[in-house]
Amino acid sequence: LNSLAAVGLWKYVGFCVVLFLSGLKSIPGDIYEAARVDGVNSLQQLIYITIPNLRSSFLLVSIWSIIQALKVYDQVVVMTNGGPGNLTLVLYLYAWKNAFEFFNMGYAQAIALFIAVLAFTISFIFNIILKPERK
């Protein structure tokens, strides 16, 4: 299980860092300059300027990460095939096994539909929580 987590981190952290760096580059430098003139320290800049301006990046990274976590299938199949003792049996692998090993297509389709509804619901909740402010 730890090896799967390490591979997932290695695979996805770089993309998330690139998204956050692009979000940081999109913040105008004039805001930081005006804050320095007003006597704002680095911690206040982080809390009141940087983090609020990265809301859309947080939203994108969180939704993308959750969707990637829900559909982790290939790593599990290659590294553990759901074992030992079904410890790493994820939903997609469970659906695949039901469809192609046990020939229970209806149940596998229900699992796939559940995964899609779960991903949509989580994305919807994150959109509500981290909704970017209209300017």
Task: Kindly tell me the sign of the dihedral angle through the C-alpha atoms of 58, 62, 121, 129.
Answer: negative
pLDDT confidence tier of residue 127, bands split at 50, 70 and 90: confident
Mean pLDDT of 78-86: 85
Q: Per-residue pLDDT tens for 55-76? A: 989 989 988 988 888 888 888 8
Which distant-in-sequence residues (6+ apart) come within 8 Å of 112 by Cβ?
92, 95
pLDDT confidence tier of residue 5, bands split at 50, 70 and 90: confident
Residue 85 in this model has a pLDDT that exceeds 70: yes
Q: Per-residue pLDDT tens for 18-69? A: 999 999 999 999 999 999 999 999 999 999 999 999 998 998 998 898 888 8
Q: Looking at the domain 2-129, which fold is it?
A: MetI-like fold (1.10.3720)
pLDDT confidence tier of residue 81, bands split at 50, 70 and 90: confident
DSSP letter for each residue of 65-85: HHHHHHT--HHHHHHTTT-ST
| CA distance linking residue 71 with residue 116, whole number of Å | 10
